[in-house]
Amino acid sequence: MVVLNKDGKDYLEIAVPPSFVPISYKGKYYVRSGSTLQELNGAALQNFVIKKMGRSWDEVINDHATLNDIDPEAIKYFIGKGVEADRIPEDPHNAKPEDVLASLGLIDDNGGLTNAAVLLFGKNPQRYYSSAVFKIGRFGCDEADLMFQDVIEGNILQMADRVMDVLKAKYLVSPVRFEGMQRYEKLELPREALREILYNAIAHKDYAGADIQMHVYDDHVEIWNEGELPAGYTQDILFARHSSKPRNHKIANVFFKAGFIDTWGRGFQKIRNGFEAEGIPMPKVENFCGSVQVTIERTNFIKMSHVARNVVSDVTSSVTSLSPVQLTEKQKNILELIRKNSRFSIKEMSLALSLVERTIKRHLADMQKKGVLIREGNTSAGHWVIL
């Protein structure tokens, strides 16, 4: 503090060095951001202190979790994936869970488990972290038009596998093609690129925030996870050469050793390669409402819908408007059932219409060929869409 004079008036100049921790005043904590004074509390205060200590939230010890919360099957799954990816030097199938956790830096000398340990290998992580879930919803014309939904829980290490299974079964289309007698079903979106997007959403999520959410519409898919992109990072930077800046250091390390992600910032290059190979527009990546949102166009689904509509352009939403030349009476009856319940199985249709299942299958195939129907999801868990 020094005394200075200006225009004949004395004044005090007080130089305050920068602080790397919040300043406490009357029971409240404050931090300076540019010219703005911000009050910190709750999760924001905790994250600020952790970051200034050079640590990430997932490294913090959970005071309540014990080794009884760890699922040995999740440990085995990790080991199998790591050996397969050649990122674990040996095949320690007989290793104890605590030894594996120790080798990953997920347990301290007193047996305390980190947040990452519980999220990655816990039997029920949602007991401690309610937002450690992945919600998927199928929507119609807008967000208010929710048709059906799924909530994926369990450990985050195997979450991407479970999400992919549900997407293939109920939400995305896998067009069927034949080469000779061989049948092929190829997912409408590039499988590995989509999996990379899921890994990013799960590994880099702020687990003090909201659930991961996936909105599936007719023309696009939105994947939303809490926590913004690293400061200064944009979509152009992500799809170019860039360094990796994981939000959760321990989680990212385990995902790397399991072969899920790369530590060199090449994940988005893999996404680019996958979408370019399929001729699908690049996903849009942006900060949105305190989160990262990835938007993917469903161009293959749109193309299939347009082709089907062109084949039978006069098919309307009413079954009665279809002429007898286009559909048989049995096919009209099948459509009426689907209108009532798009998830009717072939067996249920057979019982309802007193027709053998082989006949139902033949009529369904014919209506798909005519462009009247399209199947979304797989045979066992999908649903019918009337075009």
CA–CA separation, 293 and 205 (whole Å): 11
Residue with tokens 């004949």: 8
User: What does the pLDDT read at residue 53?
Assistant: 57
Distance CA 209, CA 225 (A): 9
DSSP 182: E
Q: How does pLDDT run across 333-362, given as a tens digit for each residue?
A: 898 888 888 888 888 888 888 888 889 988
- Whole-number Å distance between alpha carbons of 145 and 354: 34
- Phi (first) and psi of residue 2, to 5 degrees: -130, 155
| Ramachandran quadrant class, 64 (left: phi over 0; alpha: psi -120 to 50; beta: rest) | alpha
What does the pLDDT look like over 132-177, one tens digit per residue?
A: 999 999 998 888 888 889 999 999 999 999 999 999 988 998 876 6
Exposure on the CB side of residue 249, measured as CA atoms within 13 A = 12
Q: What is the pLDDT of residue 325?
A: 43
Q: Which residue has the tokens 């938007």?
A: 295
61 and 108 Cβ atoms separated by less than 8 Å:
yes
Integer distance in angstroms from the first to the last C-alpha of the chain?
A: 77
Q: What angle do CA 151, 219, 179 make, to 5 degrees?
A: 90
Tell me the one-letter amino acid at 225.
N
Residue 387 confidence (pLDDT) above 70: yes
